[in-house]
Amino acid sequence: MAANSASPISPSDLDAIIKLMWGNEVKEDVFQRWKQGFRFSTDEPTALIQHEGGPCAVIAPVQAYIIKSLISDKKRKSPNWNEVESECVGKLLIRALCEILGQAYDGNRFVLVQMSDSILDEETTKTPPSPDAKKPKDHSYFHSQLRTLSFESPEEVEAYYLERIDMLGETFGVLLFLYSVLCTKGIEALHTEAIDPSETFIDSEFGYGSQSLINLMITGKAVAHVWNYDQDICGLKLKGIQQQSQIGFLTLLEHLRYCEVGSFLKNPMNPVWVLGSETHLTVLFSFESRLVCAETPTEVAKRVFKSFDPEGRNFISADLLQDVLNMLDLVSEPEYVDIMRKKLDAENLGIILLSSFMEEFFPEENVHLPDTFTLYHYNGLLRSCPNNKVVYQKGNAILLETHVLSVLENNGMLTCLQTKWPNIEVQWVGGSTPSLN
């Protein structure tokens, strides 16, 4: 059951949240960029709009989960799938918020953050404003008004939001939800997963969300990396994604070799991906279910091999071959392993290359992807959309027979998509390639 009344966040918890979010100092210009509610486009009923750079770290994942619900609704698989009544749109938003909170849930309680009752009454009713209403709504004001409510079940959370849906669209709607995710997750768990105490969830200069925040919103885990599982780099354990995610993630930064996105994010359970550029997040999706699937034997083999290669050098010590074979349930008798070790390490260098291992045990498998399919792209920033209208942009994709990687600096979209589909080409309806920024 929910608590009888809202209670203030303890000073120590509030200080910890502020430091984790903003650092030692909350810069007002950065805070102002995040001061917006969840509002939908007048040109696309189910597409959220974003006013300034920064809150895409919350808005894009929420949008991805809204789209996930649209895709899973079989009734929507029609030419008019994006025509949704306003009442249903609100329910889609709340369902998305509840899914994200559910992934962050620590098994103890759901903690929702709201403004004080008096402030809520002023913003949602026609009662005369109190003296507090005249105060500037800066970060100090915001943090002084925060209260929490505890719930035991997702059904109670959903009911709470349904009764106060207007609150989500108000001035601090995005931040209140983000703080609810943090409080539901728990400060201790956030520090354990994020590890690096020097990294804030929001960049103090530009206001962008960190990878830990993005991962928290997509997967419920505030880890800082996008590879599968954990990696040991020079004795330092760096945490990654532990299982196949509901929503995927692709980034232009992988093409630039700043990171390597693992199969758990590249191949999510639903054909919806958050796309990352250097400065912004958008969403790509499709109704083609064959674009995602359970891990193939080849993907499993690569993942297991790389678990023995924590430094990402694409080779392992020859002495580890038996362990790899054993984990993959392949023949691992000592005599057989000795034969394969000599074959795979013919020059007796003491190492086995990933490429040689895959060619021997997992020759190219047939992956039944469609040759052509339809993609849609969402960008919530008005200034980044054609005619300043936030709408889903449609593209007709084809997988070519050969891999032809794009090196065009002005086609970041194609470059980003090729980190998952190296042989993809897309013709966007209207002739204009959507912006990742």
Give per-residue pLDDT as tens, 377-408: 999 999 999 999 999 999 999 999 876 555 55
Q: Sorting pLDDT into bands at 50, 70 and 90, what band is 312?
A: confident
Mean pLDDT computed over 49-60: 97
Among candidates 207, 202, 193, 248, which has minimal Cα distance to 60? 248
pLDDT at 122: 44
Q: What residues contact 364, with CB distance under 8 A and at least 6 apart?
A: none
pLDDT at 121: 46
Asked whether the beta carbons of 224 and 212 are under 8 A apart, the reply is yes
Q: What structural domains and CATH numbers belong to the chain?
A: 7-223 (no CATH), 297-361 (1.10.238.10), 370-428 (no CATH)
Beta strand 315-317 pairing with 393-399 = unpaired
Residue 146 sits at φ, ψ, to 5 deg, of: -75, 140
Q: Is 280 a catalytic residue?
A: yes
Q: Is 143 a catalytic residue?
A: no
Please, where are the H alpha helices in 195-320? 211-219, 252-255, 263-266, 297-307
Mean pLDDT computed over 43-52: 97
185-199 pLDDT per residue, tens:
999 999 999 877 778
pLDDT at 242: 93
pLDDT at 137: 85
Is 70 exceeded by the pLDDT of residue 84? yes
pLDDT at 107: 87
Q: Sorting pLDDT into bands at 50, 70 and 90, what band is 123?
A: very low
Is 50 exceeded by the pLDDT of residue 220? yes
pLDDT at 201: 97
Q: Sorting pLDDT into bands at 50, 70 and 90, what band is 367?
A: low
| ∠ CA 99-50-95, rounded to 5° | 15
Is 80 exceeded by the pLDDT of residue 363? yes
pLDDT at 1: 47
Q: Tell me 308's DSSP state.
A: T
Among candidates 116, 177, 170, which has minimal Cα distance to 145? 116
> What's the residue count for the chain?
437
pLDDT at 119: 47
Mean pLDDT computed over 18-30: 96
Among candidates 310, 434, 425, which has minimal Cα distance to 372? 425
Candidates 51, 143, 280, 377; catalytic one: 280
Q: Sorting pLDDT into bands at 50, 70 and 90, what band is 370?
A: very high
Neighbours of 354 (CB within 10 A): 16
Among candidates 295, 294, 423, 299, which has minimal Cα distance to 362? 299
Is 60 exceeded by the pLDDT of residue 109? yes
Is 60 exceeded by the pLDDT of residue 436? yes
Distance CA 292, CA 208 (A): 29
pLDDT at 15: 96
Q: How far is CA 390 from CA 16, 124, 159, 301, 381, in A?
A: 36, 27, 29, 41, 7
User: Mean pLDDT highest for which of 125-139, 145-159, 195-209, 351-365?
Assistant: 145-159
SS3 374: strand
pLDDT at 135: 61
Lowest-confidence pick of 219-233, 249-263, 297-311: 297-311
